[in-house]
Each structure stands twice: as C-alpha cells, then as structure tokens.
C-alpha cells in the first residue's frame, strides 16, 4: 500500500515508528498451490486499516519484502513448542 513516498518497497518502507518488529515463522502458498516456508519479521497497518507483513522465504529465497497479509495464502506457524 502507500507510504509517504509511494508503494511499499525495500527503498521506501513504512515509517519506522509504526512498524512492530516480530519473529513469526510462516508458510506461503503460491498461485500454483505450492507452499514454501518463510518468516515474518514485522507487521504494519496502513492508514486504510490494511495489515501488512515483512516476509522472507527460506532458505535462500527472496529477501524480505512487504506483502498485504492474506491469511489464506500466508499461514502463521507456532514460534515456540507445539
């Protein structure tokens, strides 16, 4: 979504004071129905109330990027014992 300088990107992240840093394992589903492990390192809510997460896929996947959180395609995994 929009930040002060346009769309979210590595070069233009949301304002630091509005970001909640976390360590949250996750699974990401792609359009071809494959799944990949990932990790959410931050949450941010934009002015319209949309929830965004800073997600990185593992291992060796793409670097961290901001995505609009969709619980149907980004599943949160337990971060401590089961």
pLDDT at 6 over 50: no
59: cis peptide before it, omega within 30°? yes
The tens digit of pLDDT for each residue in 38-79 reads: 999 999 999 899 999 999 987 777 788 899 999 999 999 997
Question: Does the pLDDT of residue 2 top 50, yes or no?
Answer: no
Q: Report pTM.
A: 0.80
Give pLDDT, residue 60: 73
Q: Which residues contact 78 (CB under 8 A, 6 or more apart)?
A: 25
Instruction: Tell me what the mean pLDDT of segment 6-19 comes to.
Output: 72
* pLDDT score at 63: 82
Q: How many contiguous H segments (helices) and E segments (strands) does the chain have?
A: 0, 7
Rounded Cα–Cα distance for residues 51 and 76 (Å): 14
CB atoms within 10 A of CB 39: 19
């Amino acid at each position: 979504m929009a930040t002060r300088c346009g769309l979210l990107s590595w070069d233009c992240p949301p304002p630091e004071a509005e970001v909640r840093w976390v360590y949250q394992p996750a699974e990401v589903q792609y359009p071809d129905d494959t799944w990949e492990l990932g990790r959410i390192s931050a949450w941010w809510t934009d002015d319209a109330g949309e929830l965004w997460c800073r997600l990185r896929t593992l291992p060796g996947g793409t670097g961290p990027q901001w995505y609009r959180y969709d619980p149907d395609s980004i599943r949160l995994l337990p971060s401590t014992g089961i």
